[in-house]
């Protein structure tokens, strides 16, 4: 029974991932993702239902549009699979209210991740509603008694102080070190993770950013002055902190005790 439920959650994740691909594309082209049928980005041909089956259509079409034969971006099946895997991973993470919230939050993180990676910008149309949703969710838990006031304030502080830190970096560098979108993303991350997991997320983000940034410079793909989107690193750190934050903190504290 558990396998069947997990499979259904996986399929649901694939469908949501397909929708997220639509959101990402239409945000980039300033089109509404709430209306209008899906179409090929290259030839603009309206897609039939059998062109839209997550992952399966991509494999059956060998990664090419049925109509113009142009290559379909690997982004589409990857986002569908990533969403499905994350959904299954969080399904048993907590009670059903928490699971629904995690589905929504992770979907928003995925959109921000890909959009920032492609366009070097974190869209307000995504990150601002994400902040509001997290605030409302935490307030709902406080109102229903699922968390105490101290825990609620924990999430507020975890969002405020990292956002303040990022704002200072933005202000001092006049936007050269990080963008203002990263300030808002840090607020969303803190409201989502709380302390101390937000510290793990930030540490991992800076570590990944440094390693990949240096690697790109060494191999000649970037220079020291090249722009590199930081949002994907922040979100990668957030997802890892969500699942492994407690283990990482305990591992670190074990060294301090010794």
Q: Which two tokens stand for residue 72?
A: 């379909």
Query: For 29-35, what is the mean pLDDT?
Result: 69
- If DSSP codes are grouped into helix, strand and coil, which group holds residue 39? strand
The model carries a pTM of: 0.90
Residue 226: per-residue pLDDT: 65
Calculate the average pLDDT of the chain: 88
Q: Which two tokens stand for residue 152?
A: 């609620």
Q: Say if residue 30's pLDDT is above 80.
A: no
Question: φ, ψ for residue 148 (rounded to 5)?
Answer: -90, 170
Lowest model confidence (mean pLDDT) among 9-18, 95-104, 244-253: 95-104
HSE, side-chain direction, 13 A CA sphere, residue 114: 24
| Omega prior to 166 cis, within 30 of 0 | no
The CA distance from 258 to 253, in Å, is 9
Banded pLDDT at 83 (limits 50, 70, 90)? very high
**Pairwise pLDDT comparison (228 vs 155), residue with the higher score:** 155
Residue 202: per-residue pLDDT: 96
Contacting residues for 183 by C-beta, under 8 A, at least 6 apart: 163, 166, 167, 170
Residue 28: per-residue pLDDT: 78
pLDDT per residue as tens digits for the range 194-214 = 999 999 999 999 999 888 888
């Amino acid at each position: 029974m558990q396998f069947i439920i997990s499979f259904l959650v996986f399929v649901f994740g694939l469908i949501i991932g397909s929708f997220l691909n639509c959101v990402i594309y239409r945000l980039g082209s300033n089109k509404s993702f709430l209306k209008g049928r899906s179409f090929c980005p290259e030839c603009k041909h309206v897609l039939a239902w059998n062109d839209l089956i997550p992952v399966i259509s991509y494999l059956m079409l060998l990664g090419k549009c049925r109509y113009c034969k142009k290559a379909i971006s690997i982004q589409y099946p990857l986002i569908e699979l990533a969403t499905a895997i994350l959904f299954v991973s969080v399904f048993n993470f907590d009670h059903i209210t928490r699971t629904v919230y995690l589905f929504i939050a992770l979907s928003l993180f995925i959109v921000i991740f890909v959009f920032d990676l492609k366009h070097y910008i974190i869209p307000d149309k995504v990150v601002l509603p994400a902040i509001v949703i997290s605030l409302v969710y935490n307030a709902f838990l406080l109102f229903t008694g699922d968390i105490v006031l101290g825990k609620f304030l924990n999430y507020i502080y975890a969002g405020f102080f990292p956002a303040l830190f990022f704002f200072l970096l933005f202000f001092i560098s006049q936007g050269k070190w990080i963008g203002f979108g990263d300030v808002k993303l840090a607020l969303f991350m803190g409201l989502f993770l709380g302390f101390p997991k937000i510290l793990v997320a930030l540490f991992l983000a800076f570590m990944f950013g440094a390693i990949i940034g240096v690697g790109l410079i060494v191999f000649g793909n970037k220079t020291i002055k090249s722009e590199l989107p930081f949002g994907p690193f922040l979100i990668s750190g957030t997802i890892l902190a969500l699942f492994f934050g407690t283990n990482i903190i305990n591992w670190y504290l074990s060294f301090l005790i010794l």
